[in-house]
């Protein structure tokens, strides 16, 4: 420990800490990059996006959608999620458990945990009906009449049981609508004051911890040097050498110095005694139990034992006040007058 008693060592350590902090700050500095160019056609899909995470939002219980169609629907969702923060889940079911299709759709959207900016398309293959609802936060321009209009455009494909063409047609119509009515910049925070403020705060925090680290290192060095100083000169009225700390409040005349001077220094070579247990032996280690940390997850339950993953879009999907299907005069739900 005599190595740390030298003032030159303390100065070198301080310089090393400062240089390491500056280097860390430079490494972690955000890289200024040019914004990604906007596609020439806003309705075009970015085929480079990863679609694997969007298969959870397709539930083909009735087995009427091809693999190619499902992959294309996932590509639509990957693009919408990246641009607007929304997706359209799809459920192709054999029946609606005896419920009206609009009620079934509202309940399913909330059960699977869709967010308020998402949409849900349900195709009832057994009942030959379809319904689509948006979340409560979806743009007001997407009214029930607009939804019904888009559904009616692909009515013939649905009635012909060409569910691939129907689903792709609905997604294509909404792709055109989103490109015309939604601004991708609204769903992505633009760089500016917020990022500059965050960087300023980050530098302040780094400087604070740098100062704190220097104080801790200096305090350790002062304690080490003062212990050796007190062991050597304790008991003298006036020590021949004045203790000169790195931190001025550790010097003579301050409480830090006086409190420690009144306590006799520990004899050399003696360390703290280990705790003793019953009967004078060492205290045995206590046994462990379950971890107090998070369990990391539990069971996942989708509708009818599988399909959608639940709760990963934030919940709060729809209050049941909007939606549309094929035109029928009653919120657009069901076939109604089209039959």
Top pLDDT among 39 and 133 is at: 133
Check residue 333 and give its pLDDT.
34
Rounded-to-integer distance, Cα 261 and Cα 265, Å: 8
Check residue 280 and give its pLDDT.
52
What's the chain's average pLDDT? 73
pLDDT tens-digit series, residues 261-317: 666 666 665 545 555 555 555 544 333 333 334 333 332 344 443 445 544 576 667
Please count the other Cβ atoms lying within 10 Å of the Cβ belonging to residue 336.
Answer: 14
Do residues 36 and 48 touch, judged by C-beta distance below 8 A? no
Check residue 94 and give its pLDDT.
96
Check residue 202 and give its pLDDT.
77
Do residues 152 and 327 touch, judged by C-beta distance below 8 A? yes
Q: Answer yes or no: do 146 and 68 share one domain.
A: yes
Q: Answer yes or no: do 74 and 166 share one domain.
A: yes
pLDDT tens-digit series, residues 200-248: 677 788 888 888 888 888 888 888 887 787 777 776 767 777 777 877 7
Check residue 155 and give its pLDDT.
94
- Classify residue 13: in a domain, yes or no: no
pLDDT tens-digit series, residues 144-198: 898 999 999 999 999 999 999 999 999 999 999 998 888 764 444 434 444 555 5
Q: Answer yes or no: do 230 and 155 share one domain.
A: no
- Classify residue 68: in a domain, yes or no: yes
3-class DSSP state of 122: strand
Residue 50 has pLDDT above 90, yes or no: yes
Reported as type and span, the H/E element at residue 222 is helix 193-233
Top pLDDT among 139 and 106 is at: 106
Check residue 277 and give its pLDDT.
52
pLDDT-based confidence at 28, cuts 50/70/90? low
Top pLDDT among 312 and 57 is at: 57
Q: Answer yes or no: do 113 and 148 share one domain.
A: yes
CATH of the domain at 123: 3.10.310.50
Check residue 98 and give its pLDDT.
93
Check residue 294 and give its pLDDT.
37
Q: Answer yes or no: do 93 and 213 share one domain.
A: no
- Classify residue 322: in a domain, yes or no: no
- Classify residue 152: in a domain, yes or no: yes
Domain count for the chain, please give it: 2
Q: Answer yes or no: do 69 and 174 share one domain.
A: yes
- Classify residue 92: in a domain, yes or no: yes
Check residue 290 and give its pLDDT.
33
- Classify residue 339: in a domain, yes or no: no
- Classify residue 14: in a domain, yes or no: no
Q: Which domain holds residue 255?
A: 204-234+242-259
Q: Answer yes or no: do 157 and 229 share one domain.
A: no
Q: Answer yes or no: do 74 and 170 share one domain.
A: yes
Check residue 264 and give its pLDDT.
67
Check residue 25 and give its pLDDT.
59
Do residues 144 and 320 touch, judged by C-beta distance below 8 A? no
Can you read off the two tokens belonging to residue 55?
Answer: 């298969």
Rounded-to-integer distance, Cα 170 and Cα 184, Å: 21
Check residue 334 and give its pLDDT.
33
Q: How many CA atoms lie within 13 A of 175 on its CB side?
A: 20
Residue 87 has pLDDT above 50, yes or no: yes
Q: Answer yes or no: do 154 and 254 share one domain.
A: no
- Classify residue 177: in a domain, yes or no: yes
Q: Answer yes or no: do 180 and 65 share one domain.
A: yes
Can you read off the two tokens belonging to residue 324?
Answer: 């549309």
Q: Answer yes or no: do 63 and 102 share one domain.
A: yes
Residue 26 has pLDDT above 70, yes or no: no
Can you read off the two tokens belonging to residue 8?
Answer: 């030159």
Residue 110 has pLDDT above 80, yes or no: yes
Q: Answer yes or no: do 158 and 226 share one domain.
A: no
Top pLDDT among 219 and 96 is at: 96
């Amino acid at each position: 420990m005599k190595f740390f008693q030298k003032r030159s060592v303390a100065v070198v350590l301080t310089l090393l800490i400062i240089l390491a902090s500056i280097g860390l700050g430079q490494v972690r500095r955000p890289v200024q990059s040019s914004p990604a160019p906007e596609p020439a056609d806003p309705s075009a899909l970015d085929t480079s996006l990863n679609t694997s995470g969007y298969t959870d939002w397709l539930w083909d219980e009735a087995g009427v959608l091809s693999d190619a169609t499902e992959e294309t629907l996932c590509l639509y969702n990957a693009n919408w999620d990246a641009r607007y923060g929304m997706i359209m889940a799809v459920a192709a079911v054999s029946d609606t458990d005896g419920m009206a299709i609009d009620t079934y759709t509202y309940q399913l959207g909330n059960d699977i945990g869709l967010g308020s900016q998402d949409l849900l398309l349900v195709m009832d293959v057994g009942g030959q009906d379809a319904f689509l609802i948006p979340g409560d936060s979806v743009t007001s321009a997407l009214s029930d009449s607009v939804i019904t209009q888009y559904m009616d455009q692909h009515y013939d494909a649905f009635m012909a049981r060409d569910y691939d063409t129907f689903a792709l047609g609905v997604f294509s119509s909404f792709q055109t609508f989103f490109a015309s009515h939604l601004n991708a910049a609204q769903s992505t925070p633009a760089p500016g004051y917020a990022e500059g403020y965050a960087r300023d705060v980050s530098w302040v925090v780094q400087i604070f911890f740098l100062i704190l680290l220097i104080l801790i290192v200096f305090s350790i060095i002062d304690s080490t040097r003062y212990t050796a100083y007190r062991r050597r000169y304790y008991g003298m009225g006036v020590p021949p050498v004045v203790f000169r700390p790195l931190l001025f409040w550790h010097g003579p005349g301050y409480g830090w110095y006086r409190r420690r001077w009144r306590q006799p220094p520990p004899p050399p070579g003696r360390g703290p005694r280990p705790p003793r247990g019953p009967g004078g032996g060492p205290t045995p280690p206590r046994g462990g139990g379950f971890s107090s940390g998070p369990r990391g997850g539990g069971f996942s339950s989708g509708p009818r034992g599988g399909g959608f993953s639940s709760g990963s879009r934030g919940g709060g999907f729809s209050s049941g006040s909007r939606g549309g299907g094929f035109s029928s005069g009653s919120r657009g739900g069901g076939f109604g007058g089209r039959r």
